[in-house]
Amino acid sequence: MPDRYLLIPIRSNKQGVQVNVGKEGAEYQTLVTTLTMHAQDMQQAGLVAGQRVRLRTRFGEAVFICQEGNVPRGLLLVPYGPPTCRLMGGDTDGTGMPTSKGWEVELEKIEETVSSHPPESPGG
């Protein structure tokens, strides 16, 4: 059974620099597919650094690579990018921008780890 968390997409300084370099490069792809979570949440979910996980919302799913970080328990942080767009719905509440913070997500462990972080293929 997948665990549930609250996902907070963010903008990072490194991501901002990479936008100027280009979004097609491996470094940018690594940034937007890296998920940061609390060490105790990782342990409870049976995850290790480098573990691939699938996040699901009612709108879609995407694959990320876990890392431990200074994040409150129960929250997941990931930079905005193509993977987070797969998790968004289209409702904008009249703002023109889809709701993009505080999504409840299901986290499912994928039974493999990666030593280096290759970009995710478009098909997931």
Instruction: Give the pLDDT of residue 99.
Output: 67
Instruction: Give the pLDDT of residue 23.
Output: 64
Residue 25's CB is within 10 A of a number of other CB atoms, namely 12
Which segments of the chain have a pLDDT < 50?
A: 1, 116, 118-124
- 121 inside domain: no
Instruction: Give the pLDDT of residue 45.
Output: 93
Q: Tell me the CATH number at 50.
A: 2.40.40.20
- 74 inside domain: yes
Radius of gyration of the chain (CA): 14
Instruction: Give the pLDDT of residue 4.
Output: 85
8 vs 44: CA distance, rounded Å: 20
For tokens 């100027």, what's the residue?
A: 20
Using alpha carbons, select from 3, 7, 5 the residue that is nearest to residue 79.
Answer: 7
Q: At a CB cut-off of 8 Å and minimum separation 6, what does 100 contact? A: 9, 80, 84, 88
Number of domains in the chain: 1
The residue segments making up the domain with residue 95 are: 3-113
Instruction: Give the pLDDT of residue 121.
Output: 39
